[in-house]
Amino acid sequence: MEEDLTEALVEGARVLGVEFTTSSLEALDFFLNELMRWNRKMNLTGIKDPHGIVVKHFLDSVAVSPYISPGSSLLDVGSGAGFPCIVLKILDPGLKVTSIDSSGKKLSFQRHLIRRLGLEGADTVQARLPDPQVVERFNKVFDYAISRAFGSLEALLRIARPLIKDTGVVIAMKGKMEGRDGTSNNVAKQFNMKLQRTVSFTLPFTTADRTLLFFAGKESP
């Protein structure tokens, strides 16, 4: 990774409360180079320039890291080219990650990263949720279910609610959500859940507002 990109990644992550190890930076460097290489042959991401990928994909994914308990289990719903799941796995090698997406080519890229980076405890599943077999296989398995720029909150909670533990959390990564807590809570109530926490921030080096919405079962603390 070029020096200016590394500096942007390190500085942006520090703003978000995350410090990289040397090994995690090396892994993200490999991730970036491979994403650029594969993207020339197949459309894995619409963002083509390295700086855009570092900011809009890597740092956007990094922002969730401080809110994920080390060594926990995480399901990424609609993971695309590995955001945020592969980035989170690189930051916490002990994190147990399952990535679900309907795109075989994007999961092939993820499996390539998993194999080349030696990411033990990372799995991929090709499926279009809700899939009864997937729901049965992963019923109440995960500490977290996360999705980035998923469609509606209602659809995400309907899909993810059966897959998290009774004490689990669903994390929705969204854009600007100012003043919508009431609406989000009303949606959550349909699934016997509550909006536990809202985290708003501006993506480093941009003016883009981001919101993390954390949903838990009503019985959770």
pLDDT tens-digit map of 114-148: 999 999 999 999 999 889 999 999 999 999 999 99
Q: Output the pLDDT for position 179.
A: 61
pLDDT digits (tens, 9 = 90+) for 188-208: 999 999 999 999 999 999 999
Distance from C-alpha of 129 to C-alpha of 142, rounded to nearest angstrom: 16
Triad 41, 13, 207: Cα angle to 5°: 80
Residue 221 has pLDDT above 70, yes or no: no
What's at 135, amino acid-wise? V
pTM: 0.95
- Span 35-42, mean pLDDT? 96
Q: Output the pLDDT for position 66.
A: 98
Category of 24 on φ-ψ map: left (φ > 0), alpha (ψ -120 to 50) or beta = alpha
* Domain 67-217 of CATH type 3.40.50.150: yes
pLDDT digits (tens, 9 = 90+) for 151-189: 889 999 999 999 999 999 999 999 988 666 678 989 999
